[in-house]
Amino acid sequence: MSQHSRQELLATVTPRYHTAKGKEQERILDEFVASTGYHRKYAIALLNHPRKKAGDRLKRGRTAHYTPAVQRALILCWHATNGICSKRLVPYLASIGCRVRAPW
């Protein structure tokens, strides 16, 4: 099944999926997974949060904790210490005068 066909199927199945309850919703999901070949959890995510445009992707992951400038500085320090883990990198940063809060 082509990507365009999957998007068309998603557009037609989504309204039915939202109006259905219980076993009917499960049956619609089973049919959608069987026709598209998507993983069940991914199909649920698509049906619950449909994309606005064809190129949109599902939003995943965490937001950035540090700004790009701070990230570059941390990467530079990480390379200077031969790639040690963050738990061991934090005391090193404190010894050179950086005030970095440990994320854990």
Asked if 1 and 35 count as a contact pair (C-beta separation under 8 A), the reply is yes
* DSSP assignment of 5-70: HHHHHHHHHHHHHHH--THHHHHHHHHHHHHH---HHHHHHHHHS--SSTT-----SPPPSS-HHH
What's the mean pLDDT in 9-26?
93
Q: So where are the chain's domains?
A: 3-48, 64-104
User: For a pLDDT cut of 70, what percent of the chain falls above it?
Assistant: 83
**Residue 103 or 6, more confident:** 6
What digits encode the pLDDT tens for the residues 65-81?
A: 788 888 888 888 888 88
Q: Is the pLDDT of residue 50 over 90?
A: no
- In the structure encoding, which two tokens stand for residue 15, read together? 């309204």
Task: Tell whether pTM > 0.85.
Answer: no
Q: Is the pLDDT of residue 24 over 90?
A: yes
Confidence of residue 102 (pLDDT cuts 50, 70, 90): low
